[in-house]
């Protein structure tokens, strides 16, 4: 289905997943630093464990919060692949596919 409308190159160049992953790492790092600093000030013995748990909780909370955006982009690609002639789509995808083909040559 994706090969028929030449969406493979567009999906491969999509940065939504990378953005969601890096946002999760950034939020997790901030949570780890804040949690570790707080624990270091309060109870010096558990700073490492609290930092790791805070990082994981922050990472997964951010990923859950951004999951709908990543799913929306994927659903847009699937709906376009099913019916590219629909009147609900503008020229964004065909223009981007044309740009990708132009840069690959």
Q: If you average pLDDT over residues 21-26, what whole number do you get?
A: 97
Query: pTM of the full predicted structure?
Result: 0.78
Q: Considering the domain boundaries, does residue 83 fall inside one? A: yes
More confident residue, 78 or 63: 63
Among 76, 71, 72, which Cα is nearest to 89's? 76
- Place 1 in a pLDDT band, splitting at 50, 70 and 90: low
Q: Considering the domain boundaries, does residue 10 fall inside one? A: no
**Residue 2 pLDDT > 70, yes or no?**
no
Q: How far apart are CA 31 and CA 38, in angstroms?
A: 10
**How long, in residues, is the chain?**
105
Domain coverage including residue 25: 16-104
Total domain count for the chain? 1
3-state secondary structure of 55: helix
């Amino acid at each position: 289905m994706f090969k028929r409308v030449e969406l493979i190159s567009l999906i491969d160049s999509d940065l939504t997943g990378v953005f969601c992953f890096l946002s999760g790492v950034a939020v997790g790092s901030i949570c780890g630093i804040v949690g570790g600093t707080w624990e270091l000030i309060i109870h010096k013995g558990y700073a490492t464990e609290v930092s790791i748990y805070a990082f994981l909780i922050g990472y997964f909370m951010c990923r859950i919060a951004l999951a709908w955006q990543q799913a929306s982009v994927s659903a847009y690609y699937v709906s376009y692949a099913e019916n590219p002639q629909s009147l609900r789509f503008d020229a964004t995808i065909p223009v981007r596919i044309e740009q990708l083909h132009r840069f690959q040559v």
